[in-house]
Amino acid sequence: MRDRTAARLRDEPARPLAAAIDSERLARIFKALSHPVRVEIVSSLSACAGAFCGDIVRGLPLAQSTVSQHLAILREAGLIEAEENGRCCHYRLTDGARSLVEGAAAELFAAACCEAPAGASATRMDACRKDTE
């Protein structure tokens, strides 16, 4: 079943994403925002000039190590940055965090509007549905 789906998807390639999109970076951004805790951290940091790690930990019902893992994912995606001061880290949104997320979403959905043969994507999705039924 998977082989048939793979063959169909290979033979009917998806429309390419817009040239401005780096699909790996796009995936990191959406992965970073795919967890409610990370969304909460970004939301909280957007309402202020930043916060120390301890303040972020106190605002969440999680262990410090767990919060640090979430912060690392947000940093890797380029959404937040940290300024280390001894044992303390002060986190804040990057200057372009909002435009980065808005631009990523806009580019992703703009890719769906690229010119392609009528019904091409519907045909691909129908093939996938048939193979999974």
pTM for this structure?
Answer: 0.65
Is the pLDDT at 130 greater than 70? The verdict is: no
Please, is 94 exposed, middle or buried when counting C-beta atoms within 10 Å of its C-beta (0-12, 13-18, 19+)? middle
How many Å apart are CA 19 and CA 99, to the nearest integer? 18
User: What is the model's pLDDT at position 93?
Assistant: 94
Q: Mean pLDDT across the chain, nearest whole number? A: 78
How many Å apart are CA 111 and CA 89, to the nearest integer? 38
User: Mean pLDDT lowest for which of 32-46, 61-75, 115-129?
Assistant: 115-129
User: What is the model's pLDDT at position 20?
Assistant: 46
Please, is 125 exposed, middle or buried when counting C-beta atoms within 10 Å of its C-beta (0-12, 13-18, 19+)? exposed
User: What is the model's pLDDT at position 96?
Assistant: 86
How many Å apart are CA 54 and CA 67, to the nearest integer? 10
pLDDT interval class at 123 (50, 70, 90): low
Which domains are assigned to the chain?
17-96 (1.10.10.10)
Is the pLDDT at 121 greater than 70? The verdict is: no
Q: pLDDT digit string (tens) for 18-59?
A: 444 577 888 888 999 999 999 999 999 999 989 999 999 999
User: What is the model's pLDDT at position 18?
Assistant: 47
